[in-house]
Structure 1
Amino acid sequence: MTQEQKQEFTRRISQENHSGLILVLCDIFHTYGNDAIAAYEADDATAYLQNIGQARRAMQELIECFSKEDPLGRNVIAILRFIYGKLVRSEVRRQPDELDRCVQMVDDLRVGFVHLHELDNEGAVMQNVHQVYAGLTYGKGTLNESIQGVNYEKRGYQV
């Protein structure tokens, strides 16, 4: 994952609600899964193991997002645990064990999560963060993002 992608995911996380965080985690998993496949094809074992490890962490966070009390949540958790098991197996064997299939499964689940996100009208999970507006100004070859409307007196710890 490039530094630019990390910044984009960080920005998205700061602006999203609960259902949006699930979408961000799916995208993070997708990125690390594809990076692991590319590293394996390039015969870079170190990058492969790092990307598999990061994909496992993203999958673990995704599993934690769902309720174990809800029957539908348990079904989603079962699918995600299956994918997590494939990731562990890929890491131990040091070769992608149906990793492309796992990425495709998360992409298929993401389609349903997008629909749920459209129905969710909650506010952002993180409070007192900068509001980012993209596309207001353009630099030479880059898109500048403007941060506005921040009350710095209410940021950070208050005693």
Structure 2
Amino acid sequence: MTEQEQLEQQVAQASDIDLVVMLLEGINIRLGEGIEAVTSGDHERLTTAVEKVRAILGELLATLWGDSEVAIQSRQIYLYMNKLVTDAANRQANEPLEEAKKVLKPLLDGWQHLAKHPELAEAPTATQGPSVVAGMTYGKGTLNESVMNSGNRLGKG
């Protein structure tokens, strides 16, 4: 089995969390390649590494939806990392790539921990319904208020 086929099989069998871990690990590898490229003066290799990091960041950004705190914070981190790798490519400098690795580390560590403990990702389930439900109805010339409390008793107010 070729390396490409192994990767395809790994992706096909991966959970959503595992896929994020794989993408973040890919960023980490490419950042390392970029640092090596700058050190050796290999501009073409740096460009390739930066393009791959930016493509992965684009994929991660595309998976974010909504305005939850996690989505907003993740979006900001990915955009900041994109800025860093772009700066590294423009200036042919290691510092932005090293900063990107520092930013990535806690994120990668957190997702790896989540992959090992997927139960942490499960949303808590409601064990009890609402404690009070209230509503108003309009009848012929009257306005009725109904309240249902946790005792499941309906009352009129």
Name the counterpart of 1:84. Answer: 82
- 8 A Cα contact 1:89 1:97, kept in partner: no
Q: CA deviation at 1:52?
A: 1.0
Please give the alpha-carbon distance, in whole angstroms, between the structure 1 residues aligned to 2:7 and 2:74.
Answer: 23
What are the Cα deviations for residues 81-111 of structure 1, in whole angstroms up to 9, with x where unaligned?
1111111112222323421121232121012
Name the counterpart of 2:17. Answer: 19
90, 93, 103: which one pairs with 1:105?
A: 103
* Letter of the structure 1 residue corresponding to residue 36 of structure 2: A
Across the aligned residues of Structure 1 and Structure 2, the Cα RMSD in angstroms comes to 2.4
- 8 A Cα contact 2:114 2:120, kept in partner: no
Please give the alpha-carbon distance, in whole angstroms, between the structure 2 residues aligned to 1:23 and 1:9.
Answer: 14
Name the counterpart of 2:139. Answer: none
Q: How many residues align structurally?
A: 119
Please give the alpha-carbon distance, in whole angstroms, between the structure 1 residues aligned to 2:83 and 2:6.
Answer: 28
Q: CA deviation at 1:48?
A: 1.0
Name the counterpart of 1:94. Answer: 92
> TM-score when scaled to structure 1?
0.65
Name the counterpart of 2:50. Answer: 52
Moved more, 59-68 or 6-15: 6-15
Please give the alpha-carbon distance, in whole angstroms, between the structure 1 residues aligned to 2:33 and 2:5.
Answer: 17
Please give the alpha-carbon distance, in whole angstroms, between the structure 1 residues aligned to 2:7 and 2:29.
Answer: 11
Name the counterpart of 1:119. Answer: 118
Query: Is the partner of 2:66 in helix, strand or coil?
Result: coil
Please give the alpha-carbon distance, in whole angstroms, between the structure 2 residues aligned to 1:80 and 1:87.
Answer: 11
Q: CA deviation at 1:35?
A: 0.5
Gaps of 5+ in 1: 123-159
Please give the alpha-carbon distance, in whole angstroms, between the structure 2 residues aligned to 1:71 and 1:22.
Answer: 18
Gaps of 5+ in 2: 122-157
Q: Which has the higher contact order (CA 8 A, sep 6+)?
A: 1
Q: Report the structure number with the largest CA radius of gyration.
A: 2
